[in-house]
Amino acid sequence: MPEPKHRPSWDEYFLILAKVAATRSTCLSRPTGAVIVLGKQVLATGYNGSMPGMPNCSDEGACFRRCLNVPDHEKNDYARNVHAEANAIARAARKGISIQGATVYVTLFPCYTCLKLLVAAGIKELVYELDYETINNKRDTHWRQEAEKAGLKIRKLELLEQTKKIVIEYVNNITSARNLESE
């Protein structure tokens, strides 16, 4: 009997979808994706990108903020992109989809502004892949603790090597080609 095929866990599955959403990012520095899920159902996705109808950094081939020589500590004041989490929340709102009690899967731990937005939007759980390298650890630690006090469950998730392998296999090959002989 053949060995059972590895299947990603539900958490891994939704994080993979967030990683796929990040492929649509227009940010040259940090492509980021988000997926909002409730009851194993995807409600909305988002990626960091410019406001609709505005120029974006990937099309222009240069980071807008860096072209203005804005230092890192002022980056959120001049960044052209709307963050992935905010875009996912906005997409749900535009479609009239309630995200109350949902889980958000993100490829990068949210900035403190998006963290507060997630709590205000009724998100109950945050699952993330990569820690945000902050320049203000005291501020960001404070807001993470406040979000947890407000009831936001926060978990870091790393994809298993088996999961990465099967995703690469599926992407690199025709996914639905017949694997077993016809009877």
Residue 32 confidence (pLDDT) above 90: yes
Give me the sheet containing 103-108, strands edge to edge.
41-47, 33-38, 103-108, 125-130, 153-156
Per-residue pLDDT of 49-104, as tens digits, reads 988 888 888 888 888 888 888 887 777 777 888 999 999 999 999 999 999 999 99
Catalytic residue annotation: 85
Nearest to 140 by CA among 170, 113, 100, 176: 113
CA atoms within 13 A on the CB side of 4: 3
- 45 to 109, 127, 130, 164: CA distances (angstroms): 16, 14, 18, 21
Identify the band that residue 2 occupies on the pLDDT scale cut at 50, 70 and 90: low
Question: Residues 16-34: what's their mean pLDDT?
Answer: 95
Tens-place pLDDT, residues 122-181: 999 999 999 988 888 898 899 999 999 999 999 999 999 999 999 999 999 988 888 777
Whether 119 and 147 have beta carbons less than 8 Å apart is answered as yes
Does residue 1 register a pLDDT over 80? no
